[in-house]
Structure 1
Amino acid sequence: MSVIKGTIDLAGRTVLVSGAARGLGAAFAEACGRAGARVIIADIRTNLAQETAQGLCGEGLDVASYAVDLADPGSVEQLGADIVRDYGCLDGLLNNAALATGIGGKGLDEIDIETWDRVMTINVRGTWLMTKAFAPLLKASSRGGRLVNLASDTALWGAPNLLHYVSSKGAVMAMTRSLSRELGPFGVTVNAIAPGLVRVEATDYVPEERKQLYVDRAAIPRAQLPADVVGTAVFLLSDASGFVSGQVIPVNGGFIAA
C-alpha cells in the first residue's frame, strides 16, 4: 500500500480564482490551468480578465472569465449563481482579490476613514462573501473542497505605515482558522498563504527602501516573483493537501515565519 495519498496536480478539479485579471492572481490562474484544472477567473476588471482568459486559452488551458465586485454583495451572489448555472460544481476557491495598490505610506493618523472602510469591505467582508457564496459547492465537491485565502506576511511582522491593509490581512488569517473548523466536518480544507513583497505591477508603487528590506532580511536574499508563490497554492488546492487545514503558510524566502 502506498504511503502517499493524493497527487500535487489539479487534474479533474474546477478552481475559481478571484482578482486574477493580472499580476499574482493571473499567475495563480495560469499555474492552476497548467496543473490540469478547469479555471474560472473572476475580477472587477472585466475586459482585462477576458484578455487574460483568452490568452491562457490560446496556450491550451481551460480558462473562463466572469465579472465580480467584492464590494457589492449582489455581485458576489450573482457570480455564485452564474457558476452554479454554468458549471454546477466547484472544487477549489482561491480568494486572491484585495485592495492593496497605492494605499500604503501613511501613518495611522493619516489614513482617512473612507479608505479604511473600503479596504475592510473588499479584503475582509469580500473574502467572507465569496466564501459564503461558494461554500455549498465546496462542501458538495466529490474531490474534497479546497479553500485558499491570500493573506500577507505584513500581518506577521507588523509592517508600518500600512495599518489598514495589515489589519485586513490579519483578519483574513483569523478567518481562515475559524473557517477551517466550520468547514472541516464537510471535508473542506481551509488555509492561507502569506506572501512577502511579490514583484508585480500592483507593487510598483512600494518604495525602494521597503523592497530592499525584503531582499536584505530574507534567508533567500532576492526579489520575490509570482512563480515563487504559485506552487504552494497548487499544493493547497490539490488532493495531496487533504489533511492540511487551518494553517497560515508564509511564502517569503524566509523573511518572517508564522
Structure 2
Amino acid sequence: MGFAFAERLGREGASVVIAEIDSALGAEAEKKLKAAGIDARFVQTDISSEASVAAMAKIAAQGCDGIHGVVANAGWANNVGGKLYNEITPEVWDHMMAVNVRGTWLTIRALGPLMRNGGSIVTLSSDTIYWGATKLLHYVTSKSALVGMTRSLARELGERMIRVNCLLPGLTMGEATKDIPQARWNDYAERTILNRMQQPDDLDGVVAFLLSDDAKFITGQTLAVDGGFSMH
C-alpha cells in the first residue's frame, strides 16, 4: 500500500519521502519511483525508535518549505495472526503496540511541527476494528487505538488547520498479507459486496483525496475502504 500511495501522490506532483525499515525494499521503491519521473527519497526508518523517526523527519524537511502531508502507513502486520487472546505472549503484544501505536504517534510527533498550516495527515487503521477478527487481538487492539488517536490529534492540530483522518482498509493484497492462507482470501472475497479482493490501488485515490484541498473541511473522520465488507 505504501508504494501505491507514494506512486499516486508522486504522479500528482508531490515530492515523496519513503520511510521504510527494510533497506532493500525501500531502495527498490525509490528506484522505481525515480524511473517513473517522481521526486522520491528513501530513508531507512524504524518507526518504533524515537531517534530513527527524528532522523527521518530531519531529512524529510530538507530543501522544502514545510511538509504538506503525512501518510502514517507503516505498521506490523506480517504473520501476526493465529493466536488466541491467551496464547499471545507479552513480548509480542508489546512489540505490536510499539510499532503500530507508539510508532504512529512518534511519526506524527516528529513531523507535525514541521508541517505547513493547512496540511493533512492520514493514519492507517483496519476494518477489523469493526468486525473483531479472531486470533488477531493484539493487532485489532492496536488498530483500534489509532481511531482514538486520530480524533484527538484532529482537535489538537485543528488550530493550525491541519486535518487528521483515519483510513480503514480491508484485507489487501501485498507484502504484508502474502502468507495468509488461500481459504481466508476466498472467504473475504465472498463476503465483500463488490465480490473481489482488494488491491493497493483501490486505496491510493482515497489517500490522495484526503491529502488534497478537495477534503479541506474533513477532519477527525474514520473511513472504511473495503468493498463493503464492513459497514458503519
Q: TM-score range by the shorter chain?
A: over 0.9
> How does 1:42-57 map onto structure 2 within 5 Å?
42-57=19-34
> How does 1:117-132 map onto structure 2 within 5 Å?
117-132=94-109
Give the match for residue 209 of structure 1.
183
Structure 1: state its 5+ residue gaps: 1-23
Q: Deviations over 1:201-245 (max 9, x none)?
A: 220222223222221111111111111111100100111111001
Measure, in 1, the Cα distance between the counterparts of 2:77 and 2:198.
17
- The residue type paired with residue 27 of structure 1 is A
Query: Does the aligned pair in 2 maintain the 1:83–1:89 contact within 8 Å?
Result: no
- Residue 109 (str. 1) matches residue 83 (str. 2): no
Q: How many residues align?
A: 232
Give the match for residue 146 of structure 2.
172
Measure, in 2, the Cα distance between the counterparts of 1:146 and 1:137.
12
Query: Does the aligned pair in 1 maintain the 2:48–2:106 contact within 8 Å?
Result: no
Give the match for residue 54 of structure 2.
77
Q: Deviation at 1:86? A: 4.0
Measure, in 2, the Cα distance between the counterparts of 1:137 and 1:71.
20
Query: Does the aligned pair in 1 maintain the 2:101–2:146 contact within 8 Å?
Result: yes
- The residue type paired with residue 76 of structure 2 is L
Measure, in 1, the Cα distance between the counterparts of 2:46 and 2:58.
14
Give the match for residue 174 of structure 2.
200
Measure, in 1, the Cα distance between the counterparts of 2:51 and 2:120.
24
Q: Deviation at 1:156? A: 1.3
Sequence identity of aligned pairs in percent?
A: 43
Q: Deviations over 1:38-63 (max 9, x none)?
A: 11111111232122111111111111
> How does 1:1-258 map onto structure 2 within 5 Å?
24-138=1-115, 140-141=116-117, 144-258=118-232
Measure, in 1, the Cα distance between the counterparts of 2:80 and 2:15.
33
- The residue type paired with residue 132 of structure 2 is G
Give the match for residue 11 of structure 1.
none
Measure, in 1, the Cα distance between the counterparts of 2:194 and 2:60.
40
Q: Deviations over 1:22-78 (max 9, x none)?
A: xx1111111111122111111111232122111111111111111111121111111
- The residue type paired with residue 166 of structure 1 is V
Query: Does the aligned pair in 1 maintain the 2:169–2:225 contact within 8 Å?
Result: yes
Query: Does the aligned pair in 2 maintain the 1:93–1:148 contact within 8 Å?
Result: yes
Measure, in 1, the Cα distance between the counterparts of 2:171 and 2:89.
24
Query: Does the aligned pair in 2 maintain the 1:53–1:63 contact within 8 Å?
Result: yes
- The residue type paired with residue 60 of structure 1 is G
Measure, in 2, the Cα distance between the counterparts of 1:208 and 1:163.
21
- Tell me which stretches of 4 or more aligned residues in structure 1 moved more than 3 Å: 85-88
Measure, in 1, the Cα distance between the counterparts of 2:107 and 2:79.
24
- The residue type paired with residue 9 of structure 2 is C
- The residue type paired with residue 227 of structure 2 is G
Measure, in 2, the Cα distance between the counterparts of 1:231 and 1:176.
20
Between stretches 26-35 and 163-172, larger displacement belongs to: 26-35
SS at match of 2:61: helix
Output the aligned Cα RMSD.
1.2
